[in-house]
Structure 1
């Protein structure tokens, strides 16, 4: 069976129990990786990447999230695995996951995202279908959420230390189809999905789904200090992103690109 790692804070034993109970009920086992927190960010890292007075600002909690995933990628490499499933500790798992994991080894892709999406994704026709009628689609969107994905050893080595993870949050870099390192990976989306984050689909009030990461003072100050420069910067970024998305979508329509909602397999 595919190795499984899950990220968890020592201060959240409730989430650890949640993950362990889920995995055990599915006949699976996971290795816990201690999550990074903003307190793990060095003063040098904070000055370089988390300075709210700079135009490019990464919130400490966002950088801590990336550091947590980097710990998993390093653990994957240290253990010598060919690939592994990476989970965050608020991921609700489908009952179909074990069968899916038993077959995924035959799929040649750097990454397989198995998490649901809150908005439609731009996907190509499926390249494979696994047990349970779970289709695997190459995708061109940048979905939010990095709670559940399968990563190969080569991809982990490629991602580790990439500078793009110091200027944007984990998922925006990981799944970006246009810029490195995301654009350098072969990426598939499972449809329907085999995991979703607690907090989705009306689960916000669940205790385990509650985040206790302190966000006080976690505010980008550059926009208020230099509003005109910031607006011009955002305008330029928005125009570039919009034009790139539209032109990419049109150019790929002939290849079967379409928008598709990725639901969680076990949702009611």
Structure 2
């Protein structure tokens, strides 16, 4: 009897186990719920981009709620928030918006909204704590605290962060400099400490998720873990707190003192963040910061965009030539992506630019170069690769030369020449206007704004200019009438070498005396912007690097007689020399 009862009991338990197992394996679990909390003040210029990328996140919106608080604005942030909320509220599980138009633009005792006073800190701390407490009362599984100047260009950001299974984790954000949303070091007084570990993470020289003492600006908190009940933004919730009254520092220390590691992940490119303003900056400075971030994104081939819904809230300044007679941009017809990206940059920088279709070395009719008067410099050899010129270098030189001709023919006094593979430095518009103003009082004919500096001993001439030594690249330069005439008078097509070798020869800073001997008048008055205003979008060896000069055909031939180029039409091979054997 005992055996029979045990068998029955075992059978019953086994059946119950099988039922439970079958039930648990045949049903999908719902995705975690995520609350998104945002504090907004004077971000009307950023909001179209912020909201566009927030909506573009692939995480199911019925598993998300939005909590926003906005006050003390002096722009139309609230108008944009309320318009967006009305348009998109039906897509989310919930939307909780608090706006205050009656608060005025400043806190009591506040002289400038960027210069934080205790009342400002306490207000932000109170609101962040409210957002955290609200998420707990909503039984949210996660809380994503994010600022309104964050642009999450990776639509899978939330899924990727959830997959880390970490208690507190931040997606590493890019900016137009080294700034990001994490620290690698903290002083004894709990402030930022510069460390050697920071840059390799920020530059993504090593990738993964890293434990750090501080994350901020975009932070995901796993509220399902009981330890997060001890996390706080309010210092009075911490015993014997002796640190600054600062929301992000209080939160970081509450995590540290309760054994919660903070992580930043850079395994993917998650998005961008604006660099914080300086103490006395105004809203226009923040607008410029936004332009900087947009230019950074353009340089990486991924321009920031905004939903057409925001068209009435987005405007661009009218384009101008910055007081120059003309701004040229050289672009090969087949490089449509480069052209489109540069046009995006020009729109952001309010530049009125003339497109110049570059001479393409791939399609250049070498049988007709003689008619153009083109003769290669005898025995030219690239200093690094020990090779003759390439077809792309000929096309590049001719592209610049034809611009010099137009400057002379049209009597232009000052022009800017740009190539199409450049990245504009932060605050380019302000910097170049300062440079142009300073040039009014200087003696010059050519001014580099982008180049590869080959010497270490260049001297400053003025606040924004230096005297260039041997220089590579022709990324960008300002040229006046006198300079253009000197370049043409040198008859460079009759003894052609790469244009970035020719220019240093003309201001007598080239190390090769043999090459210099072909150009006896080397008195071009050259300066350089210091610091430089444009850089290459990619450097040699980097992913995405393409050079239309380097990726072209070498002109074959070891003994040029007069430098003329001919084609063996039977083989379509560039022979590159004329002698008695041909």
TM-score (norm 2): 0.33
Aligned to 1:49: 375
Aligned to 1:210: 546
The Cα of 1:85 is off from its aligned counterpart by 0.9
The Cα of 1:102 is off from its aligned counterpart by 2.4
Deviation by residue 1:28-55 (Cα, 9 ceiling, x = unmatched): 121110100233344253696359xx63
* Cα distance change of structure 1 residues 122 and 168 upon mapping to structure 2, 3 Å threshold: farther
Instruction: Please give the alpha-carbon distance, in whole angstroms, between the structure 1 residues aligned to 2:486 and 2:537.
Output: 29
Q: Where in structure 2 are there 5+ consecutive unaligned residues?
A: 1-321, 381-387, 509-515, 560-582
From 482, 485, 490, give the equivalent of 1:162: 490
Instruction: Please give the alpha-carbon distance, in whole angstroms, between the structure 2 residues aligned to 1:182 and 1:92.
Output: 33
1:108 aligns with 2:436: no
Aligned to 1:6: 329
Instruction: Please give the alpha-carbon distance, in whole angstroms, between the structure 2 residues aligned to 1:218 and 1:201.
Output: 18
Greater than 4 Å deviation, 4+ residue runs = 212-217
Instruction: Please give the alpha-carbon distance, in whole angstroms, between the structure 2 residues aligned to 1:216 and 1:72.
Output: 22
Aligned to 1:188: 527
Correspondence list, 1:118-197, <5 A? 119-124=454-459, 126-129=460-463, 135-139=464-468, 141-160=469-488, 162-165=490-493, 166-176=495-505, 177-178=507-508, 179=516, 180=519, 183-197=522-536
* Cα distance change of structure 1 residues 182 and 171 upon mapping to structure 2, 3 Å threshold: farther
Aligned to 1:24: 347
The Cα of 1:17 is off from its aligned counterpart by 1.0
SS at 1:20's partner residue?
A: helix
Deviation by residue 1:208-265 (Cα, 9 ceiling, x = unmatched): x523568465154318xxxxxxxxxxxxxxxxxxxxxxxxxxxxxxxxxxxxxxxxxx
Q: Tell me, yes or no, if the aligned pair for 2:346 and 2:353 is still in contact at 8 Å.
A: yes
More helix by share: 1
Deviation by residue 1:182-208 (Cα, 9 ceiling, x = unmatched): 832111122211011222287x323xx
Instruction: Please give the alpha-carbon distance, in whole angstroms, between the structure 2 residues aligned to 1:148 and 1:185.
Output: 17
RMSD, matched Cα: 2.9
Aligned to 2:125: none
Instruction: Please give the alpha-carbon distance, in whole angstroms, between the structure 2 residues aligned to 1:219 and 1:88.
Output: 24
From 382, 403, 406, give the equivalent of 1:72: 403
Instruction: Please give the alpha-carbon distance, in whole angstroms, between the structure 2 residues aligned to 1:184 and 1:83.
Output: 19
Q: Tell me, yes or no, if the aligned pair for 1:50 and 1:60 is still in contact at 8 Å.
A: no
Instruction: Please give the alpha-carbon distance, in whole angstroms, between the structure 2 residues aligned to 1:128 and 1:59.
Output: 37
Q: Tell me, yes or no, if the aligned pair for 2:446 and 2:477 is still in contact at 8 Å.
A: yes
* Cα distance change of structure 1 residues 145 and 221 upon mapping to structure 2, 3 Å threshold: same
The Cα of 1:147 is off from its aligned counterpart by 1.1
Instruction: Please give the alpha-carbon distance, in whole angstroms, between the structure 2 residues aligned to 1:43 and 1:201.
Output: 32
Q: Tell me, yes or no, if the aligned pair for 1:9 and 1:35 is still in contact at 8 Å.
A: yes
Deviation by residue 1:93-116 (Cα, 9 ceiling, x = unmatched): 123332233241413310111114
* Cα distance change of structure 1 residues 162 and 94 upon mapping to structure 2, 3 Å threshold: same
Larger Rg: 2
The Cα of 1:63 is off from its aligned counterpart by 1.4
Instruction: Please give the alpha-carbon distance, in whole angstroms, between the structure 2 residues aligned to 1:115 and 1:217.
Output: 26
Instruction: Please give the alpha-carbon distance, in whole angstroms, between the structure 2 residues aligned to 1:12 and 1:84.
Output: 23
Deviation by residue 1:98-137 (Cα, 9 ceiling, x = unmatched): 223324141331011111425444312x2221xxxxx311
Instruction: Please give the alpha-carbon distance, in whole angstroms, between the structure 1 residues aligned to 2:403 and 2:473.
Output: 16
Q: Tell me, yes or no, if the aligned pair for 1:35 and 1:68 is still in contact at 8 Å.
A: yes
Instruction: Please give the alpha-carbon distance, in whole angstroms, between the structure 2 residues aligned to 1:182 and 1:13.
Output: 39
Q: Structure 1 stretch 154-163 or stretch 175-184: which is displaced more?
A: 175-184
* Cα distance change of structure 1 residues 9 and 162 upon mapping to structure 2, 3 Å threshold: same
Correspondence list, 1:220-259, <5 A? 220-222=556-558
SS at 1:115's partner residue?
A: strand
